[in-house]
Structures are given as C-alpha cells and as structure tokens.
Amino acid sequence: MKLSRITLALALLPPLAVANPGNQREQALKLSETLITANRDLQQRDQSPVANSVFTRADIERLRPASVQELLTHVPGVQVASYGGRGAVYGLYIRGTSTAQTLILIDGVRVGSATAGGASLQYLTVDQIERVEVLRGARSAIYGADAMGGVVQIFTRRGDGPGLQPYVRLAGGSKGTWERSLGLSGGDAATRYHLSASLEESAGFDRTRDSFASDADHDAYRNRSLAFSLSHSFANGVEAGLNLLDQRGTTEIDNPFGRWDPSVPPFGASVPASNWDRFAVNSSSAYLELQPGADWRSRLELGHSEDKQENFDKLFPGSTVNNSYRDSLNWLNTLTLSDRQTLRLGADYLNDKVRSSNDFTRSNRYNRALFVQHSLQQDGFATELGLRHDDNQQFGHENTANAALTLQLNAQNQLTLGYSEGFRTPTFADLYWPLDFGYSGNPDLKPEKSRNYELLWRSQLGPQTRLEASLFRTDFRDLISFVSDPVTWTSTMENVERARIQGVEASLHQQLFGWQGSLGVSLIDPRNRDSGHTLSNRARRTLNLDMDRDVGALSFGASLKAVSNSYGDKGNDITLPGYATLDLRAGWQASSELALDLKLSNVLDKDYSRLVYNYQGENFGYREPRASLMLGVTWTPAL
C-alpha cells in the first residue's frame, strides 16, 4: 500500500464527526502512567489487567540504550540474545516464549518478516523513538496471530508543542561508532509535526571467535533513517494523522557455518564465506479519528510495512533475497455504555506478501478478523472480557478469548486474575522453503496455540514505593519444531512439541535519598512437556537494576543486568554460561540549549558469547561488545 493510496482513502472518507475527541492520544505518548497497546485505546496503566512496562522519551534519553533490544532488557521477564552487537540478529524471549511468538508493532502497524518470523528491531535507531510499550502475556484476543508471549509497540517521535523546536545530536565512541541525528518539531493547539533524520555507523568488531579466516575481520554497520509524523485536529471534530519511518543500510555478518558447496567430494562440504546484508525496513500509517455521537468514538487506521533483506557473499557472485510486504486496515469503535462500562468493537484486515529468490509454492495470504471487548469498572472490582474471530485464507477460522477480574483489596493493593489465549501461524519459510541441503518446509503445518493463566498483584507500599508481581503459567501445543531423520539425512518442521512455561516476576520502583531505583526479577521454568528438557536459549533467572539521581544540572546512573545459564540445544547437552554486565552513565545540562552525556557499557569488561556449532561440529561463539564508551552532545537551539 503506497502513501498515495493512504492519502486518497482518507480524502474519500466523509466528515461524520460532530464532536472532537482531541489529540489526547498524541499527548499521552509523553506520559509514563498511560497505556495504549493493551486494548488499542487510551487508559491508565494501573487500570489495565495486563502486566506492562512503558518507556517514554525521557526514559530513553536517561538510559541511552544503543538499540531497542538493549532497552527491552530493562523489562522484567524479558531476555534478549544478541549475536554480535549493532545490526546483528537477535533473539527476544518474553516470559520464555520465542521471538516469533511476540508481536511487534510500530505506530499500530504490524511489522516483521513473513519468512523469518521476527521483526528487524536491530535496525531501528533509538533517536527515532518517542515511546515503547511492552505487554507480557498472550493478547491474541485483541491482535490475533503472534501475540502469544507478549506485544511490543514502538511509537515514533512526535511534536512537543507550539513553536519550532529543532535539535542536533552527535555522539561518538568505541569501535569507530558514530551517531548523528537532527530533527525539527513544532505545531500549535491543532497541529503537531516532527521530522528527523539519523545516520549511524560503526566499524564494529569481530563478532565470532576463530572460525573461517574470512570471518576474522571487523563487522561494520551503517544505517540511514528518516522519520516523519503529522497530526491535526480539524474544526469539524475530526482528527487525522500520518506516521512514516524508513531505515536502510548495510551490515556485515560473521557466519561460522560457512557456505555449503555440494561439489566438494565426496559428499560436499562447508567452505569459507564472507557475508553482508543490505536492508530496507520501513512502516507507514495513517489514521482518522472521529466521534459520530456523544458516546461513540471511531478510529480507522491504514498501514503498510516492508522488511527487505538481500544477502551477499564477497567470495561468491549473486545474492539471496527475502522481502516481506504487509498491508493492513483496522477499524476500532469505542462505545461508552455508562460512566463505568465500555464496549470496544473492531475489525482487522491484513495481507502478507513475500518476494524471495527461493521458489515458494505460495507467497500471499490474507487474514480477516472481528473482535469485541467489554470493560467494567466498579468501586471494589473491575472486569474485562474479550473475544476475537480470525478467518485466515490459508488456515481457516480461529477463536481466541481473554478474561480478567480485578479486585481492589484496599486503597493500596490490587489483585487481578487473568486468562488469555494465543496462537501463531507458520511463516512462509516454515511452510514452503524449497529442498536445500536436505531441508525443506512442511506445507501441512498447523498454527501453534497457547493458554495463559496469571495472578497479578499491584501494591503502593509507600508514597515513593511501588511493587508489581505476577505468577503465571502458559501451556503450548502444536509447537513448530525442527525435526531430522537420521536415516534419510533429511529435516523439516513439524507440530511435534508441547511445552509449559511457569514462573514469577516482580518489579519494584523506589525513590530513596534522592535516588530513583527500579528492580526487576524473573524466575521461570520453560519446559518441553514431551522430553522434560528445558527449552533452549531460555535463562531461568534474570535480574535488572537501574539507579539514577539528579544533582542540579548533573545526572548519574547505573544499570546492572544478570542472566543465569541456559541451554543451547533441545537435548540440553550444550550449556550457555550466565553473565552479568554493569553500565554507568552521566549527563550534564550545560545550558538551556546544550546537554552532554556519557555512557560506559560493560565496564566490568565481561566476555560472554552465544555458542554455535557449524556443519563440522566445531564450536564457535557469537561475541558481545566488551567494555566501550559513547560520548554525546545534544544542541536544542531556541528559535
């Protein structure tokens, strides 16, 4: 769906509104105690029955993460496995679920690869982000497929208010890393806009230990990004907006597997390779919000996203292409039945397309869905009940539900009992990957399914102390797994596994002696119910601690992250050691227009890696960056 189509569709819609809902949603993106993702509408975070975390622009500037993945490690129950620093492939595990079992949204638009099954967050520049919301637990009754472990929604930068507000930022640091960005925002009471551009470059480092000689080089990364947002409230009560984000560049890849050459006698062999990717990842969305009646708000959203990847090998000619295109149309209606009851009715349409150098049997499919959710707020309790029906062109009908009961025990304590269902459809690669080195896709795969049970406790322990804790259990069936046949030397994907993940997570927010502290702890037991083994790449214990303090124009902070050991294979024969890292940061507001920031990452110089076995059975590790620093300066001239 091109931008011209979005603009045309908005122009053809009639001005039905008689009252203006205002730009409350745009304003709420600046606030830390509001939430949009849980039910696709604005609400207070403490009124949502879903465990959630929110990072505002102020939080991002305080923590100064190098990537979205690093920012997500500050969320309790979230583990991120990166394979070699900036621009590298990653794994995202929310409460022990896999990367493909987490839904990623950018400004309400579903993004990601329809072949790989994940979103390319490694290419998203943090300077282009206004806000990140993270839901933990299944939410398929609201969003449909892929929202099994949770939902991550990223909002791009927005205007800050009246007048012109420019900014320029330059940062440089270890491993030849440079970050350059500039932007302009502004508007008035009715209009807000933001335009920004960024360039991120890094000479990188050798991402793997000794493997092929072609891997023994520094792996560089370059990313150019452009973002634009515009919203306007018309005099007739209609609000409309547009959001655009484009990221493109190149990243070098270490590949200890090498390149398979079947011509090498007697049965073929893995030969050296020198890989690099050219990527272009973008999303665009347009919305129209109106209020046809005093108790009825309606919002229409159009979206388009692309995830284009082309892989090259410096030692061989040609390239491999895997491009995904997604078009979406979403319609949400909010009916205020009374001052205590709300009914939300919605309809979704999604079309996935793949263009690949691999010859897939099928490269296009659509999904249509209807959903309804009822919310009730009483003096001593609240309820939420939702139901969604999906009609997938390929997999047929799927019904999912969610229900929650919240008890307000007293003014300080709240207890929520929740149930939710999730499912995930197989990717085009799972289904139709052509026969290659003994592996092929399986067109008979069925969707994965899950049921989630949760007990959530929120408590205001004191004026400056807030606690949130969850007990949860998720049961999975028909999990898609890689299966090999030792007799025929062939492999494919099959629905062969059942799994169970149960655990407890807690977060504590405290202000003490001028310090602002945040502690997150997660203990999980992710287990394959058929074999009894622990699910691979899932750490049983994670901890994150953030401490920050402002002293006049100066600010200081530290982050400690600890991850226990895990297993690198299904049989639990390969152990990945645990690790802990410490980051330090400082800032100085030198004047009203000039600010400096310094971040020291992994100051303990921890050497940790992900173990990988290549075709010859040799063990290599994808390394993470050692101790490094970044020094930045931000100029916000007053106009």
What is the pLDDT averaged over residues 446-463? Answer: 96
What is the pLDDT averaged over residues 545-560? Answer: 96
Whether residue 601 contacts residue 624, with contact meaning beta carbons closer than 8 Å, is answered with no
- 259-261 and 269-271 beta bridge pairing: antiparallel
Whether residue 523 contacts residue 540, with contact meaning beta carbons closer than 8 Å, is answered with yes
**Residue 216: per-residue pLDDT:** 75
DSSP 131-197: EEEEEES--HHHH-TTTTSEEEEEEE----SSS-EEEEEEEEEGGGEEEEEEEEEEE-SSEEEEEEE
Give 596-613 pLDDT, tens digit per residue: 999 999 999 988 777 665
Q: What is the mean pLDDT of the chain?
A: 90
Nearest CA-CA partner of 563 in 70, 74, 75, 79: 79
What's the half-sphere exposure (Cβ side, CA atoms, 13 Å) at 297? 20
Residue with tokens 């290549």: 614
Give 33-48 pLDDT, tens digit per residue: 999 999 999 999 999 9
pTM, 2 dp = 0.93
Which of 190-194, 230-234, 262-266, 318-322 is the least confident region?
Answer: 262-266
Q: Which domains does the chain have, with CATH numbers?
A: 3-635 (2.40.170.20)
What is the pLDDT averaged over residues 289-311? Answer: 95
- The pLDDT of residue 100 is above 80: yes
Which of 11-15, 333-337, 393-397, 598-602 is the least confident region?
Answer: 11-15
What is the spatial distance between Cα 554 and Cα 588, in angstroms, rounded to a whole number? Answer: 5
User: What is the H or E stretch that residue 9 is in?
Assistant: helix 3-12
What is the spatial distance between Cα 260 and Cα 212, in angstroms, rounded to a whole number? Answer: 13
What is the spatial distance between Cα 352 and Cα 367, in angstroms, rounded to a whole number? Answer: 9
**Residue 14: per-residue pLDDT:** 36
**Residue 20: per-residue pLDDT:** 38
Which of 136-140, 391-395, 482-486 is the least confident region?
Answer: 482-486
Q: What single DSSP character describes residue 127? A: G
Residue type, 562: A
**Residue 8: per-residue pLDDT:** 42
Higher pLDDT, 622 or 426: 426
What is the spatial distance between Cα 372 and Cα 389, in angstroms, rounded to a whole number? Answer: 9
- The pLDDT of residue 335 is above 50: yes
What is the pLDDT averaged over residues 135-160? Answer: 95
